[in-house]
C-alpha cells in the first residue's frame, strides 16, 4: 500500500512522510478516523514508507524487496492485530491471517461489518482477547528479521478491555525500533492508559468530491450515480462501495412515504411501516437508511438557510428538499436530526427495530405536526 493509492488526505500524507524525513517517528501512534476514511490504509502505507529501502520524495518506492512484501502483507516484520471471533480461549488473530490479508487487499477501506462477512460471523461478538495480548508481547520481543522497524498495526483497539493493560509496559517502553500503530474509530472506547501513551494522528472523513471521483475513476460509475452515492455515504467510502452494489437508491421512496405519514399523523400507515418495512431492511440497511435521512435533513437545513451552493442533490431529491425546507422551522429540523442520530446509535446496539422505529416515528409526529420537542431537550 502506497500513499498514492489512497484517495484524499494530502496534508496527512505529507505530515507522515515528514516525520520519517526528520527522524521523528513516534514509537506509538493512534490513527483516529471514522469508518471508511482510510485510516487503516494510511497506517499500512506509513509502515511501508518507514521500512522502504529506497524512499522517494513523497512515497515509498513500491518496487524494493520490503515494498513488495508489504504490498502483499507478507513482510516478516509486519504484524497485525484485529478483532476476531475466537472459537477457543487460546486462539489469536494470526489464526485468521489469511482471511485478514484477503479482506484488506480486496478493500483497504473496510469496516467491521465487511470483516465480519469475511469470517461468516454476522451475529457473533468481536473481541481482542488476553491470548492475543500475550501473543503480541511474544512477537515483539524478538529481533527484527530483516527490516529496520518491527511494526504492529492494531485495528480497533476499542475491543481491548482490561487485557489491554498487559500491553501498557510494552507500548510505553518497547524494544528498539518497534513501531505501534493503533487504528481506531472511537476514542472514547479506548483505554485512557493506552491513549496517554500514543501520539494522535487524526483522520477526517473523506470529502464528497473525493468519493465521487473515486467511484467514477476506479469503479466506472457514471457521474450522476457517483454524486448520489457520495451524498448518501457522507464521507464513508465503505458505505459508498456497499451502495454502489445496489441497483438504485433504495431509500428515497421509503423516506418520502414515511415522512408523508409522519407529518399527516397517519397512524395505521406508520405502524405498518414500523412492523413490516423497516424490520425487513436488516440492521445494516436500517443504519444506512437513518444516515441517509440525517443527510437529507442536513441538506434541508442548508437550503432553508440560503446556502443553496452547498446542496448536493439533484432531481426528485432536490425537489423534496426545496418543498420540505419551506414548510418547517429550523428547530424542528434540528430536533429530527438529533432523534435520527440517536436511533442510529441504538440500531448499532441491536435494539428491537419495531419498537425503535415506532418510537422514532411518534416523536417525529410530535415535532412536525404539533411542534412538541422531546422533554428536557433544547434546540436553538
Instruction: Give 52-82 pLDDT, tens digit per residue.
Output: 999 999 999 999 999 999 999 999 999 999 9
Cβ neighbour number for residue 334 with a 10 Å cutoff: 18
Question: Structure pTM?
Answer: 0.78
Mean of the per-residue pLDDT values of the chain: 89
At 369, list the grid cell. Answer: 405536526
Q: Which of 40-49, 79-88, 241-250 has the highest mean pLDDT?
A: 40-49
- Is pLDDT of 161 > 80? no
- pLDDT over 60 (residue 122): no
Phi, psi of 64 (to 5 degrees): -70, 170
Is the distance from CB of 344 to CB of 336 less than 8 angstroms? no
Residues 216-229 have a mean pLDDT of 87
| Residue 371 in this model has a pLDDT that exceeds 80 | no
Q: What is the mean pLDDT of residues 335-353?
A: 91
Q: What is the pLDDT of residues 267-299, one digit of tens each?
A: 899 999 999 999 998 887 898 899 889 988 998
Residue, of 89 and 213, whose pLDDT is higher = 213
Instruction: Give the pLDDT score at 94.
Output: 93
Q: What is the CATH number of domain 249-368?
A: 1.20.272
pLDDT over 70, % of the chain: 95
CA angle 75/73/169 to nearest 5° reads 70
Instruction: Write down the pLDDT at residue 249.
Output: 67
What is the predicted pLDDT for the residue at 377?
45
Distances (CA, A) of 185 to 117, 124, 182, 188, 199: 19, 20, 10, 9, 15
Q: Into which CATH architecture does domain 3-204 fall?
A: 3-Layer(aba) Sandwich (3.40)
In the chain, domain spans: 3-204, 249-368
pLDDT category of residue 239 using cuts at 50, 70 and 90: confident
Whether the pLDDT of residue 376 is over 50: the answer is: no
Question: At 24, is the secondary structure helix, strand, or coil?
Answer: coil
Nearest to 35 by CA among 183, 161, 181: 183
What does the pLDDT look like over 2-54, one tens digit per residue? 999 999 999 999 999 999 999 999 999 999 999 999 999 999 999 999 999 99
Q: Do domains 3-204 and 249-368 have the same CATH topology?
A: no
The yes-or-no verdict on residue 380 having pLDDT over 70 is: no
Q: What is the pLDDT of residue 294?
A: 92
* 279 or 121, higher pLDDT: 279
The residue with greater pLDDT, 369 or 301, is: 301
Amino acid at each position: 500500500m502506497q500513499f498514492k493509492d489512497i484517495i484524499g488526505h494530502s496534508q496527512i500524507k505529507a505530515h507522515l512522510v515528514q516525520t520519517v524525513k526528520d527522524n521523528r517517528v513516534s514509537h506509538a501512534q493512534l490513527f483516529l478516523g471514522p469508518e471508511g476514511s482510510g485510516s487503516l490504509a494510511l497506517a499500512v502505507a506509513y509502515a511501508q514508507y518507514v521500512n522502504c529501502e529506497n524512499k522517494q520524495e513523497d512515497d515509498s518506492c513500491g518496487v524494493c524487496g520490503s515494498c513488495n512484501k508489504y504490498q502483499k502483507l507478507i513482510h516478516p516484520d509486519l504484524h497485525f492485530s484485529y478483532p476476531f471471533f475466537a472459537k477457543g480461549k487460546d486462539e489469536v488473530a494470526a489464526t485468521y491471517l489469511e482471511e485478514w490479508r484477503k479482506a484488506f487487499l480486496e478493500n483497504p477501506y473496510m469496516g467491521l461489518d465487511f470483516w465480519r462477512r469475511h469470517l461468516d460471523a454476522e451475529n457473533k461478538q468481536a473481541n481482542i482477547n488476553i491470548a492475543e495480548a500475550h501473543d503480541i508481547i511474544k512477537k515483539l520481543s524478538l529481533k527484527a528479521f530483516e527490516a529496520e522497524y518491527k511494526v504492529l498495526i492494531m485495528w480497533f483497539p476499542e475491543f481491548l478491555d482490561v487485557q489491554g493493560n498487559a500491553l501498557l509496559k510494552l507500548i510505553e517502553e518497547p524494544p528498539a525500533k518497534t513501531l505501534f500503530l493503533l487504528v481506531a474509530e472511537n476514542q472514547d472506547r479506548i483505554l485512557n492508559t493506552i491513549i496517554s501513551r500514543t501520539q494522535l494522528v487524526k483522520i477526517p472523513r473523506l470529502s464528497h468530491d473525493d468519493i465521487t471521483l473515486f467511484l467514477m475513476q476506479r469503479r466506472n460509475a457514471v457521474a450522476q450515480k457517483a454524486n448520489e452515492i457520495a451524498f448518501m455515504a457522507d464521507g464513508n467510502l465503505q458505505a459508498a462501495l456497499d451502495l454502489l452494489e445496489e441497483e438504485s437508491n433504495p431509500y428515497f421512496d421509503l423516506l418520502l412515504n414515511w415522512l408523508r405519514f409522519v407529518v399527516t399523523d397517519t397512524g395505521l400507515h406508520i405502524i405498518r411501516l414500523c412492523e413490516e418495512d423497516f424490520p425487513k431492511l436488516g440492521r445494516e440497511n436500517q443504519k444506512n437508511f437513518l444516515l441517509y435521512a440525517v443527510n437529507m435533513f442536513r441538506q434541508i437545513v442548508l437550503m432553508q438557510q440560503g446556502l443553496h451552493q452547498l446542496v448536493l442533490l439533484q432531481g426528485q431529491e432536490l425537489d423534496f428538499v426545496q418543498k420540505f425546507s419551506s414548510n418547517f422551522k429550523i428547530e424542528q429540523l434540528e430536533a429530527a436530526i438529533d432523534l435520527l442520530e440517536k436511533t442510529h446509535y441504538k440500531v448499532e446496539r441491536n435494539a428491537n427495530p419495531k419498537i425503535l422505529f415506532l418510537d422514532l416515528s411518534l416523536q417525529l409526529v410530535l415535532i412536525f405536526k404539533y411542534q412538541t420537542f422531546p422533554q428536557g431537550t433544547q434546540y436553538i
